[in-house]
Amino acid sequence: MSFINYSSREINCKIVYYGPGLCGKTTNLQYVYKRTNPDQKGKLISLATETERTLFFDFLPIALGDIRGFKVRFHLYTVPGQVFYAASRKLILKGVDGVVFVADSQIERMEANIESLDDLRINLAEQGYELDKLPYTIQYNKRDLPSAAPFDSMNKLLNPRNIAYFEACAVTGIGVFETLKNVAKQVLIELKKHY
C-alpha cells in the first residue's frame, strides 16, 4: 500500500525482500545502505538476534529523487527467513507494494528456496494479494559460490513465468542495485496505472 501525500508532496512505497534463511536479504539492504548517499537514506534498522540472524525485520528508508515535484521514497524491509518465524513474516508483508525474492543458489538450498516461495504465495494470499499480480523480481544470489546450481535449471524451477531476474553476489554488491531498480520501477509503473 503506497502512501501519496499531496500536502508534503511525497510518495512512499514499501518493498519487501523475501527468501529462505541465510539467502542474503539483510546483506542486500546492508549493501544498499553502504552505497547510498547520506542525504538519500535513513538509518538501517536491524531487529536481529545476538548471532545476527534477523528476528523480526530490517528496515531501510531511501529517497530516490523527484517525479513531477513529488519526492519518491522507498521503504525496504526484509523478513526473517528462518522457518519458525512464520508468524512474523506474515506481518511484514502487510501493505507491500513490491516483492524481491532472494534465492540462494547453492544446490543444497534448493528445497529451502521452493519452500520459501510457497510460503510467500500463501502469506500474500492471506493479505489478499496475488504474487503474479504484484511488482515482483527474483534475485539469484551467491552465484559466485562453487556449489551454485546451474542457472538454467534454477530459473526453470523458481521462475516458471520467466519474470525479471538478476544474478547476484550481494556481499560484493553484484546485482544488488539492478534488482532494486527493477522492482522499484515496476512499483512506479503500477502506481501510474492506478492514478
Partner 1 sequence: MNGSDLIMYEEEFRKIDEELQRLYIQTNSKVVFLVDKNGQLIASAGETHDIDTTSLASLTAGSIAATGGIARLLGEKEFSILFHEGEKDNIHISLIGQRIILVVIFDRRSSLGLVRLRVKKVSESLVRIFDDIGSKTEKEKTEGRMEESPFAEISDEDIDNLFR
Name the phi and psi angles at 120, rounded to 5.
-60, -50
45 binds partner 1 (CB under 8 A): yes
Residues 54, 26 contacting (CB under 8 angstroms) = yes
Could you say which of 35, 40, 47, 83 contacts partner 1 (CB under 8 A)?
47
Bridging pattern class, strands 45-48 and 10-18: unpaired
Which cell numbers hold the place of 69?
515535484
**CB within 8 Å of 82: residues ≥ 6 apart:** 21, 53
Alpha-carbon torsion 33, 139, 182, 94, what sign?
A: negative
Of residues 39 and 87, the one with the C-beta less far from partner 1? 87
Could you say which of 128, 152, 160, 162 contacts partner 1 (CB under 8 A)?
128
Q: Which is nearest to 108 in space by CA: 176, 154, 159? A: 154
33 binds partner 1 (CB under 8 A): no
Please state the closest distance from residue 106 (CB atom) to partner 1, in A: 30
Could you say which of 21, 22, 61, 173 contacts partner 1 (CB under 8 A)?
61
**DSSP 8-state class, residue 150:** P
Number of residues interacting with partner 1: please give it, by CB under 8 A.
48
Please state the closest distance from residue 156 (CB atom) to partner 1, in A: 29
Positions touching partner 1 (CB under 8 A) are 1-9, 11-12, 14, 42-43, 45, 47, 56-57, 59, 61, 64-65, 67-70, 72, 75, 87-88, 90-92, 94-95, 97, 128-129, 181, 184-185, 188-192, 194-195
